Structure formats: structure tokens, C-alpha cells
Amino acid sequence: MFVDRAKITIRSGKGGNGAVTFRREPYVPEGGPDGGDGGKGGDIIFEADRNLRTLMDFRYKRKYEAENGQDGMKRKKFGKSGEDLIIKVPMGTVVIDEETGRIMKDLTEDGQRFIAAKGGKGGRGNVNFKNSVRQAPNFAEAGGEARERTVILEMKLIADVGLVGFPNVGKSSLLSVATSAQPKIANYHFTTIDPNLGVVNIHDSSFVMADIAGIIEGASEGLGLGFRFLKHIERTKVLIHVVDVSGSEGRDPKEDFDKINKELEAYSPRILKKPQLVAANKIDMIGEDSPEYLEFKEYAEKKGYQVFPMSAPLNMGVKEILSAALIELQKVEQEPEEDFYEYFDFDAEERDPSYREIKAGYDEEEGVYTLEGKQLSKIFRSTNFNDMGSLRYLYKYIEGKGAIEELKEMGLEEGDYIRIEDYDMEYWDEY
């Protein structure tokens, strides 16, 4: 079974907490702080592997978690960092963030890696909070939170040449004659329900050719096999458009030709900019001198396309069109490659200055003032509420961000309560 789409949940490792420990030596206040830093949480990393062909494994395992960082220890010992989790995927896999729908990375080369979820940073031990005033800090920093997200893995075939055309026009026959691939061939529509790949060896060169499943009118809107296989055409560098020039199924070859190109353009205008060769298949049924073929050839050539008469089962004209495809492929490979996708920079989200901002508010229903902020939450989780020094550190941070003054402008007075997350603190001018 060919599996080209999967949805999984990934979770990076949480950063280890900083330690709150003290040395036990004479003449050292409170023994002296010596709590070490916590270890960093493990990252979730995707890696492209040329030995994988499908996303089948992700049908059975849907959740992946990296190792958490170890907490800091006494004697200033750092906690061990969590092991990164490397998830191997086939070459040609696109990683998409489900929540935003944005593309995170396109893994096209063997061994290419991408960090999809960074592990939390290790928290600082209490030794880092010692100063001339605070000789024995009884608090440390909590480790950074793990990052969890749902991602969609979408595999798009990496082929040099793609075969397109209506069902039952001879694409599978051409692939079987030109390569060692053995696609299913029969005289009915949609014999190809999974894309097939094969290697073409010609003129001391080679290239990968893919038989893309039959496209029908309305495929760009999801009809027939729809988006499932149209997306594989995006990867190809050269297209061979196979047309039943004999009209054996009662259709007009010119209309077939236009309908397929219309669907390709509707799906992505970029596709029609690729070099496209036309294989006028089943020529043995009407002959190269027939009015039907000559009319179609003139029609396609007026649109700027090269037409090659061919009969795939009889191996007539196959070498000619493959040679032409090789020439076009060599031209394309000499051109600078444009970036296929515009990636969303998730690291920029982490560098957002809003991370350090504190938002002040007032909950009229509860009658409490509120403070919210990403960095505030991290410091809040590190606070030891049984230690005045730790509470004072939290207060000084809030005050330094101007949040106390903002709350005072909103009416904050001594004795009022300030809520941070699910904790209410009574406000006094001095801690």
C-alpha cells in the first residue's frame, strides 16, 4: 500500500529544573548555595532517508516524545540533557503544522534534517541568584516547557519526468517499456491507484520517471483521485503528456489534451511552466499519415508543444520521446533551482519581543487584577512562595516591566489581589 499522508503528534522534552541546594560547611551562610542548572530537553528532529518509500510506519504510531532534561543537582552539577528524538521520513516529505496550515520544511535530500520542536531550556540553579544582598537564595528557575504540536507529513514523489494524461491512455505501458517497473496494466480506468516509479537508462544517462495516476476533468477540485495525485506532479521537472490519439474510447484527443492541461493549471499555474512533451500514443491503430493524427499534431504544435507518435506496447517511438525528455531535463538542471516553498519561521515566533511583555488587566467578575505573560509564567513557576527572597525576586521582575504602575493606574491599592495564572497574591507596597 502506498501511504503518502500521515498526521502525528510530536512533543519535545521539558527542560530540567534548577536545583535548590546548599553546601554544608562552617562559616558559610545557610551552607552557601550550590544548586546546579537543569539539562536541556530533547529536540524532535525529522530526517530524510533515501531507504524509506512510504509513510506507512506513521499509521501505527501516532505520538512521538523526546526525553526530558534532568534536574540540576547539588555541588553545582548540571542535569543531563534529554536525548533528541530523530524521526526518519522518506525523501520528498513536506512537514506541515496542522494548527496554522503553514509549511515547516520540505525534506528533499538524503540526510537532510529539520528541528520541528525544540526542547525546553534547562532552568538555572539557585547558585545563579546569589548576590551581595541575597546570600542564600531559596529558589531556582524552572525548566523550559516542552513544545507539543500536531504535524501533517505529506509525501510528494521526487521524479525527474512525470507521465500525465487521462486514464487508460497508455502511461503505465510506457513506464513498463521504458523502465524495469511493473505497473498494473489492464483495459479499464484507474488501473494505477498508486504512483509508480522507474529508472530510465538511455544514452549513458538515467533519470527517474513516474506514472501519475489518471486525472479526470474536475481533478483540481478534488474529483476522481483529485489532489491526492495532482500534488505529485509538482515535484517533476519535465512532463510527458500521453494522449490516446486514436480516440479509441470515443473521445476527441484535442479535447483530452486541453482538459488535462486545464486541470494542471487550475491546481498550480507553476506546473504548466515545466517543459511538456506530447506522446501521441496508440498511433499503430490509425497510422502516422491519418487525418486524425495530423490534425492533432498541428493543433498541439501551434500551442508550442513537441509531438511524438508512439505505440508503447509495440515499443514504437519510445526511444525518441525519452531522448527528447533527457535533453529537456538537462536544460532544466542547468537552470538555477527556485525555492519551491515559502517556509514559516517558527524560530522568529520564539524571538518575538512579546515573550517578555506583561499584560495587565482587571477581572470585574472576580474583583481581582490580573497579569499575563510567557516569561512571567516561567518565573512564576520557579517561585518559592514560602521564601520571601523568592517572592521579592518575582515582584521586582513585575515592577521592572512597569506592570505595577499600570495596575495602579487601573486602580490597584494596598490589600487588593493580583492573580497570576491560578494564584492570588495580596498586594503591598513593599515585599
pLDDT in tens, 275-285: 999 999 999 99
Q: Spell out a b/e string for 366-388, using b for 16 or more CB atoms within 10 Å of the CB, else e.
A: eeebbbebeebebbbebbbeeee
245-249, 373-377, 383-387: the lowest-pLDDT one? 383-387
For residue 53, how far is the Cα from the chain centroid? 17
d(CA 221, CA 267): 8
Per CATH, the homologous superfamily of domain 353-426 is: GTP-binding protein OBG, C-terminal domain (3.30.300.350)
**Domain 161-334 CATH class label:** alpha beta
Model confidence over 84-116: pLDDT tens digits? 999 999 888 889 988 888 888 889 889 999 999
Question: Which segments of the chain belong to CATH 2.70.210.12?
Answer: 5-155
d(CA 310, CA 279): 6
Confidence of residue 351 (pLDDT cuts 50, 70, 90): low
Q: What is the mean pLDDT of residues 334-348?
A: 57
pLDDT over 90, % of the chain: 31
Of residues 335, 146, 167, 117, the one with CA closest to residue 237 = 335
Between 178 and 8, where is the model more confident?
A: 8
140-149, 190-199, 385-394: the lowest-pLDDT one? 190-199
Check residue 186 and give its pLDDT.
38
Say if residue 1's pLDDT is above 50: no
Listed in sequence order, the residues at least 6 apart from 331 whose beta carbon sits closer than 8 Å to its beta carbon are: 275
Check residue 56 and give its pLDDT.
83
Question: Which segments of the chain belong to CATH 3.40.50.300?
Answer: 161-334
Check residue 350 and give its pLDDT.
57
3-state secondary structure of 227: helix
Between 226 and 345, where is the model more confident?
A: 345
d(CA 12, CA 272): 41
Task: Report which DSSP code applies to 115.
Answer: E
Beta-bridge mates of residue 418 = 369, 425
Check residue 227 and give its pLDDT.
42
Q: What is the mean pLDDT of residues 332-338?
A: 63
Confidence of residue 40 (pLDDT cuts 50, 70, 90): very high
Say if residue 337's pLDDT is above 80: no
CB-count exposure of residue 300 (10 Å: 0-12, 13-18, 19+) = buried
Listed in sequence order, the residues at least 6 apart from 268 whose beta carbon sits closer than 8 Å to its beta carbon are: 230, 234
Of residues 125, 148, 188, the one with CA closest to residue 66 = 148
Beta-bridge mates of residue 277 = 240, 306
Q: What is the mean pLDDT of residues 71-81?
A: 91
Write a three-state SS string for 317-361. Answer: CHHHHHHHHHHHHHHHHHCCCCCCCCCCCHHHHHCCHHHHCCEEE
Cβ atoms of 66 and 12 within 8 Å: the answer is: yes
Strand 5-11 with 148-155, pairing: antiparallel
Confidence of residue 189 (pLDDT cuts 50, 70, 90): very low
Report the predicted TM-score, pTM, of the whole model to 2 decimal places.
0.64
- Please, what is the average pLDDT of the chain? 82
d(CA 197, CA 18): 53
Say if residue 293's pLDDT is above 90: yes
Q: What is the mean pLDDT of residues 388-400?
A: 81
Question: Which segments of the chain belong to CATH 3.30.300.350?
Answer: 353-426
Tell me the torsion sign for CA atoms 316, 318, 321, 324.
negative
CATH no., domain 5-155: 2.70.210.12
Most confident of the ranges 37-46, 129-138, 417-426: 37-46
Say if residue 191's pLDDT is above 50: no
d(CA 60, CA 54): 13
Sheet holding 423-426: strands in order across? 359-363, 368-372, 417-420, 423-426
3-state secondary structure of 97: strand
Size of the chain in residues: 431
Check residue 344 and give its pLDDT.
61
Confidence of residue 203 (pLDDT cuts 50, 70, 90): confident
Residue whose grid cell is 495516476: 213
Check residue 340 and give its pLDDT.
52
82-86, 272-276, 372-376: the lowest-pLDDT one? 372-376
Say if residue 212's pLDDT is above 50: yes
Q: Would you state the cell numbers that stand for residue 399, as one nine-digit string?
A: 515592577
